[in-house]
Structure 1
Amino acid sequence: MPFKELVPRLPGHAWLILSGDAVSAVGAGLTLPFLLVYLHDVRGIELGLAGLVLSTIAVAGLAGTPVGGLLADRFGARRPAAAGLVLAAAGTAGMIGVRSAWEAALSAAVYGFGVAVTEPAFQALLSTSVPPARRSQIFAVRHALLNVGLSAGSLLAAFLVDFSSPQTFVTIFVVDACTFLTFAVLIARAPGRGHTAPGYKARSSGTRGGYREILADRLLLRICVSVAVVFTCGYAQYYSAYPIFSIETGGLDAGTLQLTFLANTCTVVLAQLLVLRLVTGRRRTIAFAWSAGLMAIAWLIVVGAAQLGGGPAAVAAFMAAMVLFAVGETLMAPSVPVIVNDLASDDSRGRYNGVHSFAQTLGYIIGPAVAGAALGSGHGSLLFLGLALALGLVALQATRIDRLLTPAANLVGAGPADASDAHTERTHHGD
């Protein structure tokens, strides 16, 4: 199938803000992998305190996501998204001159809060940048571009960063701050009108209030509890438990570990649009169930690979696990965020995304804590078996949610070659 047939026909303004998101991801790829090293080796901050600085980012995110969602409903999605990016740029730039742990923690808090404010507002903006049938497409494209950006940033950092030269770290933090500001400008200046979705009504009263009415939607809560489990047992472990376990128990070295990460990233980038095409016209909840199920299988393979004692067979098994995990990611992107946005009414969309983002952030906080406790006590294999079990239960829960959604809210939208939808986009946007 030609690549151009896989690329969704999104309106021009949607591609504009997606490109800003990808540029910002390049900046994150430049700095985040080196932040702990920078604080400890370059600025001389004790390693334990430097770790707490990184935790500050996630804790600030817990405060920022509900604020971002609330502001998006009260003032529209563009302004909070752009304001959050400016805050994130300020936090990143603040890292340049830190000399103590408290200064680093302050910059990290500003950065984490800014990113968290942006996320629910930007998700709301994405969902209204295209017709409802295109929402699965725009979230899938975003996931692919984020991985491209993060990978490009990490690769660029490998050429720019010199551990003996603090100035190289200054350079990457300046570049990261500039990518946030570029993204903010693109959001603020992007043209286009929002698309609403008749019939996609939240169960809330629709008033521009706080979160009490949003939290009364039990279906949203069920979905977000599942999301929190997936991020605790899936995504967070990919960054925390998996690297340590694969090296200390699985016998991988740093180079082969990077190969497994590369297998994951390449699979996401290459498979995301193909997976989107395959799930088009199918139920989002089933895609969600398969997503959690594949992540569970990936962790089971990791446990098995660790028993091989290293060598080519172990490397191949770990790479296969990361490929399966990546396919799970590509199924998550066009399903769960779209369900959340289709449940929301237009005046509650920001808060719905705020609850969803809060669940993700909570998972990123709980996951490493669970991993540290289990690995520290020598129970790595039991940890991954437990993670697989929890993800399997999420898959079962997704099939139950399937019965609670209307077909309109549960169907992955039309494919990229849908001429009638393309006509609608041209009518609204002149693209």
Structure 2
Amino acid sequence: MDGWSELVVKMLRRWTTEGPVWPVQVWAVLGADALSAVGSGLTLPFLLVYLHTVRGLSLGTAGAVCTTLALAGLVGNPLGGVWADRFGPRPVLALGWATASMGAVMLATVSNVWQAFTGAAVAGLGAALAWPALDTLLAAVVPERRRSSVFALRHATMNAGLAAGSLLASVIAQVGRPSSFVLLYALDAASFLLAIPLLWAARNRPAGPAPVAVDVEGAAEAPAGGYWAVARDGLFVRLWLLIAVLVAVGFAQFNTAFPLLAVSAQMSAAVVGWAFAANTATVTACQLLVLRAARGRRRTGAIVVLCALWACSWMLVLAGSHLGMGVGAMLFVSAAVVFGFGETLFAPALPALVNDIAPQALRGRYNGASAFAYTTGFALGPAAAGLLLQHGLDTVLLVGLTLACTAAAALAVTLRRRLLPGVDIIDPPAPDGATEPATPAATHQQEAPA
């Protein structure tokens, strides 16, 4: 795996090495994203509780409202990608956050079922519009060879924002006081609106070579083919499938099946809380350390290691589920930490790779399709897990997740053969005598004719 066995040693040796010095426009975008994440952290963990205990919706109806929040991505992700290509990512990102803010206000004032569904749909649509626009903007404001770094940094700052919002919400929220939840959603709405002006502090030309067919500050030249051209890119289709599988067996399961598995194993709520806290702390503290150790190594190698770590995490959960409190609880928390280490390899590998293989004129659509892969994984993963857990097949689920991680690692290896060597490297060094590498004419091998 290209020396990945030395990752921990390299991390300890290089953690003090100096990373890239980001210009103000990069920090402005990351700061705006982190601020919006604080708002999301305030409300997302409490949405089901708020709708059921404060607004009086049944658990089934409240669950359906939460599903609506995710399903809005089926419309918003592709649309956000098209508009990012057509109008530029910055105004689309601002529109998405403004729409999400409106949805938060609607949820704060819910008085009946249809208002709840409408508010969730509007909030979800806003977040779905913003996702591909943000990734497109981040790819444009940094040099090509620094995309792995900026996406890793974004993952760390976003997690810090979510954690800060969740901690603040735990202080504010009181089930017996509906006004406390109204305050949470008002703060959520304000966080999106306050993030928008920061985007214009980042308004300048990208740090890398001038784009050929798209102006990140405004409208793009009309690209040929649209999403049909994206679908015909065989390499991206494989990458899309890999993202969807990893989200389905990773993030989606950790957020939904992991707590249910803990409860099924007779773990206390405190164990679940400690596990999620340990996971967030691991990602926030180690993201940049892992990035520094991984710099110059293969992205596909990072994905293989990620799959191995997640498979190990699910095996720890399987062992912990049979050992009860004490040792079992320690294994659940350890699994969350191992899962967090895997997350730190996801950010510098996959989002950056999507943007490196995307043509300039279609980058928004590539990010829109990539975001759609996340939405697909978040929809299918919990559905499959719920079906198995409903029938008491906890062990089958965990073994299946481990095997799926193995299959994803094999798929990552097949990607390696289709990538040009420089594209498969995390933060490759600049060529001798050059401050930034030239944009390659092609970033992956051409598909053989069908």
Instruction: Tell me how far 1:419 sits from its aligned partner.
Output: 11
Q: Is the 8 A contact 1:65 1:354 kept in 2?
A: yes
In structure 2, C-alpha distance between the alignment counterparts of 1:148 and 1:3, rounded to whole Å: 19
Instruction: Tell me how far 1:411 sits from its aligned partner.
Output: 0.8
In structure 2, C-alpha distance between the alignment counterparts of 1:315 and 1:206, rounded to whole Å: 55
Letter in 1 for 2:233: D
Q: Is the 8 A contact 1:280 1:415 kept in 2?
A: no
- Structure 2 counterparts to residues 180-195 of structure 1, below 5 A: 180-195=192-207
**Residue 35 (structure 2) aligns with:** 23
Q: Is the 8 A contact 2:24 2:202 kept in 1?
A: no
Alignment of 1:277 onto 2:302: no
Q: Is the 8 A contact 2:17 2:292 kept in 1?
A: no
Instruction: Tell me how far 1:108 sits from its aligned partner.
Output: 0.4
Q: Residues 104, 152 of structure 1: CA spacing in aligned structure 2 closer, same or farther, 3 A cutoff?
A: same
Describe the superposition over 1:171-204 as per-residue Cα deviations: whole angstroms up to 9, x where unpaired: 1101100111112222244222124569999xxx
Match among 325, 343, 350 for residue 310 of structure 1: 325
Instruction: Tell me how far 1:206 sits from its aligned partner.
Output: 8.3
Instruction: Tell me how far 1:422 sits from its aligned partner.
Output: 8.7
Match among 146, 165, 186 for residue 177 of structure 2: 165
Describe the superposition over 1:264-312 as per-residue Cα deviations: whole angstroms up to 9, x where unpaired: 111101110011011100111111121122111110111011111221x
**Residue 351 (structure 1) aligns with:** 365
Match among 88, 100, 106 for residue 88 of structure 1: 100
Match among 326, 330, 351 for residue 337 of structure 1: 351
Letter in 2 for 1:389: L
Alignment of 1:238 onto 2:254: yes
Alignment of 1:176 onto 2:176: no
In structure 2, C-alpha distance between the alignment counterparts of 1:378 and 1:121, rounded to whole Å: 41
**Residue 302 (structure 2) aligns with:** 287
Instruction: Tell me how far 1:385 sits from its aligned partner.
Output: 0.8
In structure 2, C-alpha distance between the alignment counterparts of 1:329 and 1:206, rounded to whole Å: 36
Describe the superposition over 1:313-341 as per-residue Cα deviations: whole angstroms up to 9, x where unpaired: 11221122111111110001000111110
**Residue 101 (structure 1) aligns with:** 113
Letter in 1 for 2:141: S
Instruction: Tell me how far 1:207 sits from its aligned partner.
Output: 2.1
Describe the superposition over 1:395-428 as per-residue Cα deviations: whole angstroms up to 9, x where unpaired: 1110110111001211111479x9974999xxxx
**Number of equivalenced pairs:** 418
Letter in 2 for 1:114: G
Alignment of 1:110 onto 2:125: no
Alignment of 1:409 onto 2:423: yes
Describe the superposition over 1:354-387 as per-residue Cα deviations: whole angstroms up to 9, x where unpaired: 1110000111111111111111100011101101
Q: Is the 8 A contact 1:73 1:208 kept in 2?
A: no
Q: Is the 8 A contact 1:77 1:124 kept in 2?
A: yes
- Structure 2 counterparts to residues 333-412 of structure 1, below 5 A: 333-412=347-426
Q: Is the 8 A contact 2:144 2:437 kept in 1?
A: no
TM (norm. structure 1) is 0.92
**Residue 447 (structure 2) aligns with:** none
Q: Is the 8 A contact 1:243 1:257 kept in 2?
A: yes
In structure 1, C-alpha distance between the alignment counterparts of 2:136 and 2:54, rounded to whole Å: 39
Q: Is the 8 A contact 2:107 2:185 kept in 1?
A: yes
**Residue 429 (structure 1) aligns with:** none
In structure 2, C-alpha distance between the alignment counterparts of 1:51 and 1:200, rounded to whole Å: 46
Alignment of 1:32 onto 2:44: yes
Match among 213, 221, 229 for residue 245 of structure 2: 229
**Residue 259 (structure 1) aligns with:** 274
In structure 2, C-alpha distance between the alignment counterparts of 1:217 and 1:206, rounded to whole Å: 19
CA RMSD of aligned residues (A): 2.3
Q: Residues 294, 423 of structure 1: CA spacing in aligned structure 2 closer, same or farther, 3 A cutoff?
A: closer
- Structure 2 counterparts to residues 51-130 of structure 1, below 5 A: 51-130=63-142
Instruction: Tell me how far 1:248 sits from its aligned partner.
Output: 1.3
Q: Residues 263, 369 of structure 1: CA spacing in aligned structure 2 closer, same or farther, 3 A cutoff?
A: same
In structure 1, C-alpha distance between the alignment counterparts of 2:328 and 2:211, rounded to whole Å: 51
TM (norm. structure 2) is 0.89
In structure 2, C-alpha distance between the alignment counterparts of 1:127 and 1:423, rounded to whole Å: 15
Q: Is the 8 A contact 1:200 1:342 kept in 2?
A: no
Match among 18, 22, 33 for residue 10 of structure 1: 22
Q: Is the 8 A contact 1:68 1:354 kept in 2?
A: yes
Q: Residues 3, 394 of structure 1: CA spacing in aligned structure 2 closer, same or farther, 3 A cutoff?
A: closer
Letter in 2 for 1:370: A
Q: Residues 383, 419 of structure 1: CA spacing in aligned structure 2 closer, same or farther, 3 A cutoff?
A: farther
In structure 1, C-alpha distance between the alignment counterparts of 2:434 and 2:291, rounded to whole Å: 19
Q: Residues 414, 9 of structure 1: CA spacing in aligned structure 2 closer, same or farther, 3 A cutoff?
A: farther
Match among 50, 57, 61 for residue 62 of structure 2: 50
Letter in 1 for 2:423: A
Q: Give % identity.
A: 41
Q: Secondary structure at the match of 1:127?
A: helix
Letter in 2 for 1:281: G
Alignment of 1:220 onto 2:232: no
Structure 1 unmatched runs, 5+ = 425-431
Letter in 2 for 1:413: D
Q: Secondary structure at the match of 1:164?
A: coil
Q: Is the 8 A contact 1:196 1:346 kept in 2?
A: no
Q: Residues 64, 199 of structure 1: CA spacing in aligned structure 2 closer, same or farther, 3 A cutoff?
A: closer
Match among 270, 278, 283 for residue 268 of structure 1: 283
In structure 1, C-alpha distance between the alignment counterparts of 2:433 and 2:154, rounded to whole Å: 22
Structure 2 unmatched runs, 5+ = 1-12, 214-220, 439-450
In structure 1, C-alpha distance between the alignment counterparts of 2:276 and 2:19, rounded to whole Å: 25
